Amino acid sequence: MAFAIEVPGEAVPLSPEQVYLALQSAGSSHQLQIQTGTQQLQAWETQRGYYTLLQAVFLDKSLPSEVRYLAIIQLKNGIDKYWRKAAINALSKEEKAEIRSHLIQGGLDEPNASLALQNALVVSKVVRVEYPLDWPDVLQNLIKVLRTAHQSNQLQLRRGMMIMLQVIKELSTARLRSSQTSLQSITPEIVFLLNEIYTEKVAYWMAFLNGNGDDEGGAMDAMENSLYALKTLRRLLIVGYEYPNHSSDVQQFWELSQHQFGQFLEMVTHEPPALFSPAKEIVEKHLAQFSKLHVQMSSIHPAAFALLPSSLELVRAYWGLAAKFGEFYGSETQDFNAKSLENDDSKDKRPVMEKLCLKGLTLIRACIKMVFQPAQSFKYKTAEVKAEQAEGVALIKSQLLTDELVSQMASVIVSKFFIFRQADLNAWEEDQDEWEIKEEGTGDGWEFEVRPCAEKLFMDLVLNFKKLLFDSLLSFFQQAAKTNEASVVTKDAVYTAMGLSASMIFQSFDFNSFLESTLVNDVQQTGPGCKVLRRRLAILIGQWVPISISEQNRVLVYQMFLHMLNPEDEINDYVVRVTAARQLKNAIDDTMFGVENFVPYAANTLARLIGLVQEVENTDTKMAILDTIRIIAVRMEEHIEPFADQIVSVLPHLWESSGEEHLLKQAILTLICTLVSSMGEKSQRYNSLVLPFIQGAVAPGSEMQIYLLEEALDLWSTILGQAPQPASTEVLTLIESLFSLLEIGSDNLRVVLSIVDSYVSLAPQAMLADAIRPRLMGCMANLLGTKRREMAGQVTTIVENMIRAAAEFGGDSGVALIARDLYDCGYTEKIFAGLRDAWEAHQTTGPSRRYPKLDDVVETDYFTILARFSLSDPNVLISIMSSVGDAAEIWRWLSTEWFRHFDSMANIDHQKLSCLALTRLLELPLPMMSIILERLQDYFAMWTSVISEMMTGRDDLGDNLIWQVGELTATEGESPEIYRKRLHGYKDPVHSVHTFVFVKEILSKVVAACGGEEAFQREFASNVDKDVLLGFQNLGTQVNNDPQAFWQT
């Protein structure tokens, strides 16, 4: 039936027929009908009754299954979005109740398994939200259904088991304590019933398989039902009990699981085969569920696992299975001929044995963790529980992890599981890129592959049983060092163990001699399988170099890696060379790296790495090789310069060919950043190539900005740090890009502000230009209220440096321009508003006392800006005050707060800056001078405090903050920016003006302006506290040993 809705979706009335037609249209094979139907369904999502009608469509078995399937999917999606009470457009209570009333029964009678599964998922999602508060009896209802259907209706039993499984799976993820407690309260009843069903169904199909019966269909139904029951029981035994070992039902089923594990394993591994598909696959699934139960119990309830019946025997049985599997896991007689691998099917043999072996190794790892790395918990435990857990650990340690078993496990792992299988070599030949990535993979890959899991287990054994395994491993490795007759795969296994145990045996095993006598010969071997050995040698050396390698053998290591990177050697296939490239990073990135040893091999090594990075196609592999090149650049520092051209020459092509692979672009930018940092000023020759990368990455709205902004900013900052003065036009062109970055803000704002400060230092005149300066001050005003302390300090530093630059290049008029810009953009207003609030807050006392909005650090920043203006030109500060209000009135409250704040200035540099700035205000003519002298006592106290601090600890009575001329000499390895900032600091009055002399000169002028000594004493000094004046007087005595007035000395 063709159907298309011509009117807008909202205009179509909601009715059963229209819902059916929309679902039919959405499931059509015609794109227009799919789009129209989908839009209509979306339009109805928030209408009352829509989801009830979807359920009605699903329940109508006369409708096409495709339409019913789409209906139940839409219902499931709607529950995710609208079922919770807090959801926008949430379903009404009435509609929820109507849907709930049909959920379970609708699934029980559904003959289609796919539809039944989707309905079961719907039930589980509803239960997850509503149990136990709004649907408290759902589990009891399911129990009743299973009890009734157990003997009467096998379809309903299977569907009920399916629903119960999905519900328990969903509830097992609950984290609220109330949900966990509710599930645990009903778990014993569910477990009892499922155990009964499971036992009966297993007995039924076991009898059939043993020849007692001819109802094959009934046996297959029983197998599926027992599997459902087992899947549910497995989860309930883990999440349904606080202490599973305390439950007799759990103990009973635990013993049953072990007994049947052995039975089922015999059935699927019997030779000749006793079972065939599909029965064999279902029995294997039973085994998989048992193994998951055992592993999860050991990891989630370790103490319970140790104390459950026969658990130790279970672990030993798993190890026996693993050891048996190891007998045919690897082979020492591999065929390395690629043609012979084409028909190899060993990777498909006995997959269930491999899965169970993997679970067994994982189980043993969990047992070792119980003893040596027990899980920590904040949960309260009674003394009895603690004693029980200690008993479980003691059992594992004393009765399971015996010396004999540990030694046997280490031996089997090395001799069996570390050996390559024919299937591994097959995979190597089929897809070298994929194989190399898989083998290199880290993370949780060990949970899915036998060899990685065996490596993890071996490391656990080596770490926790050092004394036991030390002598045997050392003897094993020393024996290997004396023979050259071992097969390639055997050597690969031995070297795997040697690498993993390096940190344990390095003090007793002479790896340097082994390198010289054996590994050098091994790396030169040719013939079948030698590529396997070379790959392992690269890994082994990468593991040992950071731990133990002599200075003279480092040269040997570099030669070996250069040999393994040689593409002309046919043994060095793709895997060998990529592995060598990865492991070279470990050999280079070592604290004992000496650049003089590596330089002779740098050119060829880098050439081969660069050739390899262009050869590989996988992005992650390219990034790994680029990272090795980056580490070489980091370690070689300025010595990388002769080789930088060949590195940089390939980067544009890599950039262009990377397409949408932004991670690769990140790696390229990071590499360039390292080169610039290592080469210093010599890196400027790459600006024409590199700066367009930055321009594209920081362009507003570009896709690259999303992915590359952080790396681009780091590179930009590094380039500015190494840029000499005067700055190039290319570098200055990027200034315009700063404003969009300052406006949008981001997590990278700290770096952006650092770049702005670098530009102020590098090109102050460019930053003072009319096209830049006002906009920059506006951006600083917007950032003035930032809560992040580090960025607030950066904003202050930028404004400070702009004021100083204006004073240097524009004099008083330049400073006035900055002041006007700050006033126009509201910066000044914010400063005075914040300081006024602080002053008012500090006037309050007692119960009415309030705290200022500014913290002390921010207030210091505000006074720092005012101090810079005053120190440059006092008239500018008065002008700023006048623009805000009456200058005299503002001075009275501002000076009160400024002098009060001195004790809160943690940095002595800020105290001296404010001291110099406030002192310069005394240069102002009358009548402003008279108003300022009203605070003369505060001035005397400030001078006494700051000058004393400047002279503390000095015999020459100099100034502690004055930098010596000798400190201006550029040091070796110092970047141009660091040197610029040191020069900038030297020119700062804080570091070039002697506080004592400065105050003396200005105060002498003030005395003269007041009419002389007598007039100054009468009009102003007489109002100063005698103790304050005496402390001030002592400064003159301290300096000149003369009791006359300070300003007369």
Helices within 27-64 (DSSP H only): 31-44, 50-59
Q: What's the pLDDT at 380?
A: 62
Q: What's the pLDDT at 330?
A: 67
> Which residue type is seen at 324?
K
Q: What's the pLDDT at 952?
A: 83
What is the value of pTM for the model shown? 0.82
The whole-angstrom separation of Cα 970 and Cα 978 is 9
The whole-angstrom separation of Cα 364 and Cα 400 is 10
Q: Is the peptide bond before 272 cis (omega within 30 degrees of 0)?
A: yes
Contacts 24+ apart (CB under 8 A), 783-789: 783/742, 783/745, 783/749, 783/753, 784/827, 784/830, 784/831, 785/830, 788/750, 789/857
Q: Is 669 exposed, middle or buried (0-12, 13-18, 19+ CB in 10 A)?
A: buried
Concatenated DSSP letters of 396-431: IIIIIS-HHHHHHHHHHIIIIITSPPHHHHHHHHH-
Query: Which residues in the chain show pLDDT less than 50?
Result: 1-10, 337-349, 1043, 1046-1047, 1049
DSSP state of 348: G
The four Cα atoms 323, 328, 331, 333 give a dihedral, to 10 degrees, of 140
Q: Is the peptide bond before 726 cis (omega within 30 degrees of 0)?
A: yes
The whole-angstrom separation of Cα 992 and Cα 994 is 7
Q: Which two tokens stand for residue 318?
A: 């798993």
Concatenated DSSP letters of 621-663: HHHHHHHHHHHHHHHHGGGGHHHHHHHHTTHHHHHHHTTT-HH
The whole-angstrom separation of Cα 556 and Cα 541 is 11
Q: pLDDT (tens digit, 9 = 90+) per residue, 752-798?
A: 999 999 999 999 999 999 999 999 999 999 888 777 777 888 999 99
The whole-angstrom separation of Cα 535 and Cα 583 is 10
Contacts 24+ apart (CB under 8 A), 676-679: 676/715, 676/718, 676/719, 676/722, 677/718, 677/721, 677/722, 678/633, 678/634, 678/636, 678/637, 678/638, 678/640, 678/641, 679/638, 679/640, 679/641, 679/644, 679/722
The whole-angstrom separation of Cα 548 and Cα 941 is 63
225 SS3 class = helix
Q: Which residue has the tokens 């940092």?
A: 677
Residues 108/156, Cβ–Cβ less than 8 Å: yes
Residues 74/23, Cβ–Cβ less than 8 Å: yes
In this structure, the number of other CB atoms found within 10 A of the CB of residue 340 comes to 13
The whole-angstrom separation of Cα 467 and Cα 463 is 10
> Which residue type is seen at 828?
T
Q: What's the pLDDT at 340?
A: 40
**Nearest one of 506, 613, 601, 513 to 561, comparing CA atoms:** 601
Q: What's the pLDDT at 486?
A: 62
Q: What's the pLDDT at 700?
A: 82
The whole-angstrom separation of Cα 201 and Cα 220 is 10
Q: What angle do CA 688, 694, 697 make, to 5 degrees?
A: 145
Q: What's the pLDDT at 348?
A: 43
**Nearest one of 436, 44, 7 to 20, comparing CA atoms:** 44
The whole-angstrom separation of Cα 410 and Cα 508 is 19
Q: What's the pLDDT at 359?
A: 94
Q: How far apart are the first and last CA of the chain?
A: 110
Q: pLDDT (tens digit, 9 = 90+) per residue, 446-498?
A: 788 888 999 999 999 999 998 898 888 888 787 766 666 567 888 888 899 99
Q: Is the dihedral of CA 561, 565, 570, 574 positive or negative?
A: positive
Q: Any residues with CB less than 8 A from the CB of 103 and at least 6 apart, and which? A: 119, 122, 123, 126
Q: What's the pLDDT at 11?
A: 59
Q: What's the pLDDT at 4?
A: 39
**Nearest one of 489, 546, 459 to 334, comparing CA atoms:** 489
Region class of 420: left (phi > 0), else alpha (psi between -120 and 50), else beta: beta
Q: What's the pLDDT at 6?
A: 41
In this structure, the number of other CB atoms found within 10 A of the CB of residue 617 comes to 8
Residues 962/994, Cβ–Cβ less than 8 Å: yes
Q: Which two tokens stand for residue 38?
A: 């989908």
b or e along 510-525 (b: 16 or more beta carbons within 10 Å of the residue's beta carbon)?
A: ebbebbeebbbebbee
**Nearest one of 196, 254, 252 to 225, comparing CA atoms:** 196
